[in-house]
A and B are shown apart, each in its own frame.
Chain A
Amino acid sequence: MSGGDTSARKPGGASPAQTRRRVLALLPFGVAAAAGGGFWAMLSRMRTGGFDPHDIHAPALNRTVPDFALPGLDAAHPGFSGNDLRHIDRPVLVNFFASWCIPCVAEAPLLGRVAALLPVWGVAYENKPSDAAGFVSQTGAPFARVALDGSGRTAIDWGVSGVPESFLVRPGGIIDWHLAGALTETVVSATLPALLSRIGR
């Protein structure tokens, strides 16, 4: 580097200045390697689902359902409370929906297939009772119960950020699994059966 370098060069042995220069030359590669390793670890964990900085679902998992008590839609679709969910003896899928939500209408046929596996309890989110009733009769959604959450407060306590969202609640009222978004073919044919066999029903 510097022409006026005073260090003597011995064949075979590196002077302190040379060593320092080598270290300085390798430093950027070291920093780049460390950064690359860090990014690789982060991205691979994001891909496998071990790390999600945007995760808004984690808080709900393995927790007891929040306290709430909501009125029912009609005689055929009674409401339910957090206490009801704490006393179930088999898993229940709690599905938040609204009549104004297009993906909810789209996932209704899949809910029909879920109902063959386990009971589905609906929560009508920010929906008038008449609109919720219209949704249930038009889509044929197989809700064993429908609770009316007109203010959306109960949904907030569950950590719902938008409909549709589904929660698998296992006996004891523990939230076992959470899906923010519409059910898919894979969820119904693979994910849910696997979860149910793990829970033991």
Chain B
Amino acid sequence: MKRLLPIVFVALLLPGPVLAVSDPSEMLPNPAQEKRAEALGSRLRCLVCQNESIEDSDASLARELRHILREHVAAGESDAEITRWMVARYGGFIRLEPAFNATTAMLWCMPVLALLFGLGIAVWSYRRASRRAAPAPALDAAEQARLDALLRGGSVER
């Protein structure tokens, strides 16, 4: 029993499965549809808590939006149609992933731009370093003879 106690304690500390929708009665009976609803709902902002998705939030507005979302999914609407329905009411801010447009172009392009910028610096400094480390000029005949003598271990005549 004493040996079991730490195991039980550790087991209690382990995180349980995190369910986005805590109330099973909210879920759709069709698992594929429920999965799609959860995926879509986790990309929609809860307007009350603002940095939580409607799947994560416990606010009553989020609960109602989850419900509406599932009705639309069950009715066979596409993700784009449902997102449009939400944006028509709450604007682009409801999307946790902003749509690509003139205002958000910089936001979406920044990773690529930063990568290109970094690559540019890398290429530039590599080329500069290799230019600086130019190969030494070749030895002339006398120098070569002296080097050979040194390598052979003999004394060097000056």
Contact A152 B131, beta carbon cutoff 8 Å:
no
Chain B: interface residue total (CB-CB under 8 A):
21
Contact B90 A161, beta carbon cutoff 8 Å:
yes
A151 proximity list for chain B (CB < 8 A): 64
Interface residue? A201 (CB, 8 A): no
Interface residue? A14 (CB, 8 A): no
Given contacts A4-B132, A161-B47, A161-B48, contact A156 B94 (CB under 8 A): no
Interface residue? B12 (CB, 8 A): no
Contact A2 B91, beta carbon cutoff 8 Å:
no
Query: Majority SS of interface residues in chain B?
Result: helix
Contact A159 B90, beta carbon cutoff 8 Å:
yes
Given contacts A59-B87, A126-B60, A156-B68, contact A53 B93 (CB under 8 A): yes
Interface residue? A55 (CB, 8 A): yes
Given contacts A53-B103, A56-B47, A56-B94, contact A157 B64 (CB under 8 A): no
A128 proximity list for chain B (CB < 8 A): none
Contact B89 A58, beta carbon cutoff 8 Å:
no
Contact B93 A162, beta carbon cutoff 8 Å:
no
Interface residue? B134 (CB, 8 A): yes
Contact A59 B90, beta carbon cutoff 8 Å:
yes
B47 proximity list for chain A (CB < 8 A): 56, 161-162
A4 proximity list for chain B (CB < 8 A): 131-132, 134
Contact A157 B60, beta carbon cutoff 8 Å:
no
Contact A152 B94, beta carbon cutoff 8 Å:
no
Closest A-chain residue to B124, C-beta based? Answer: A24
Interface residues of A in 1-16 (CB under 8 A from B): 1-4
Query: Majority SS of interface residues in chain A?
Result: loop
* From A55, A57, A59, A152, contact of B88 by CB (8 A): A59
B132 proximity list for chain A (CB < 8 A): 2-4
Interface residue? B96 (CB, 8 A): no
B106 proximity list for chain A (CB < 8 A): 38
Binary contact track B76-93/A, C-beta < 8 Å → 1, others 0 = 000000000001111101
Assembled-state Cα–Cα distance A158/B128 (Å): 62
Assembled-state Cα–Cα distance A69/B93 (Å): 28
Given contacts A2-B131, A161-B47, A162-B48, contact A156 B93 (CB under 8 A): no
Other A-B pairs, 9, CB within 8 Å; known A4-B131, A159-B91 = A3-B132, A53-B103, A55-B93, A59-B91, A152-B61, A152-B64, A156-B64, A161-B61, A162-B48
The 16 sampled A-B contact pairs (Cβ below 8 Å) are A3-B132, A4-B134, A51-B103, A54-B93, A56-B93, A57-B91, A58-B91, A59-B88, A59-B89, A126-B60, A152-B64, A156-B65, A156-B89, A159-B90, A161-B48, A161-B61
- List 4 A-B pairs, minimum CB-CB distance, nearest first: A161-B47, A159-B89, A59-B91, A56-B90
B residues with a Cβ closer than 8 A to A are 47-48, 50, 60-61, 64-65, 68, 87-91, 93-94, 103, 106, 128, 131-132, 134
A residues with a Cβ closer than 8 A to B are 1-4, 38, 51, 53-59, 126, 151-153, 156-159, 161-162
